[in-house]
Amino acid sequence: MDLFRIFPEASNREEVEENTPEPEARNTTFVVRNLDFLRNLFSKTLGISGEKVLDELTLEGVASYIQSGKCKNIICMVGAGISTSAGIPDFRSPDTGLYANLQKYNLPYPEAIFQIDYFKKHPEPFFALARELYPGQFKPTVCHYFIKLLKDKGLLKRCYSQNIDTLERVAGLEGEDLIEAHGTFYTSHCVSFMCRKEYDLDWMKEKIFSDDIPKCDKCSNLVKPDIVFFGENLPKRFFTSMAMDFPRCDLLIIMGTSLQVQPFAALVGR
């Protein structure tokens, strides 16, 4: 590697050779200089401030920034990983994830359990799974209460969640604090577009734990919890809120999600 690329300010090759640090220090210098280069590049191409925000790239650095009073509109983006320590499996972890343990439902493929067309024809596997994961059987984790603490301190702009377990609500977040991007068990609706009668959490819980397939009292069609299945649109509030929230965000905290599912993953670009 040509050291003039690392130390372009050197006037000649002899000066470089005389002042070249040991390999470990040289690597550190190279990394620091390249981080500065990338920071400047991103600030110019993306039109964002090149100002250094964190004192250090650690949790302590983030905590120090929060305590400094410089950020007052914190957004949290969270996924199933914040609920795993409560005993709720995530979706994609090998061996332990939800998709890896659905063989007993005899599905054509794991994701079928959350496909709206498959659900309408074969609702039994979903409601069997719902009995295992139903809200009220698990308690919030330290991550959920951290988000609630941000709310209590007046720092939380919004929590965008991929989770359907309602643990954010159990921890103390309310409707205005929360965008449940993939829906929730909190309410349910008849699947018929001509009916759409709403049912509450207690009604759905009684049906699920009595081994009944929930049917609408009004039209006898299936009733589904308001979680977003593959083939359904995300809630309108997801789109209207992100347009207002993200331009004001001064700290984005991402926890428990691998950001593989769109359009949720695209939020970071905002």
Q: Is 189 a catalytic residue?
A: no
**Would the annotation count 90 as a binding residue?**
yes
**Would the annotation count 258 as a binding residue?**
yes
**Would the annotation count 84 as a binding residue?**
yes
The pair of three-digit structure tokens given for residue 88, joined into one six-digit string: 């709720």
**Would the annotation count 82 as a binding residue?**
yes
**Would the annotation count 257 as a binding residue?**
yes
- Going across the sheet that includes 223-227, the strands are 198-200, 183-190, 223-227
**Would the annotation count 165 as a binding residue?**
yes
**Would the annotation count 219 as a binding residue?**
yes
Q: Of residues 122, 144, 182, 189, which has the active-site annotation?
A: 182
**Would the annotation count 231 as a binding residue?**
no
Type of residue numbered 50: G
Q: Which residues are annotated as a binding site?
A: 80-84, 90-92, 162-165, 190, 195, 216, 219, 257-258
Q: Which residues are annotated as a binding site for Zn(2+)?
A: 190, 195, 216, 219
Give catalytic residue positions.
Answer: 182
Q: Which residues are annotated as a binding site for NAD(+)?
A: 80-84, 90-92, 162-165, 257-258
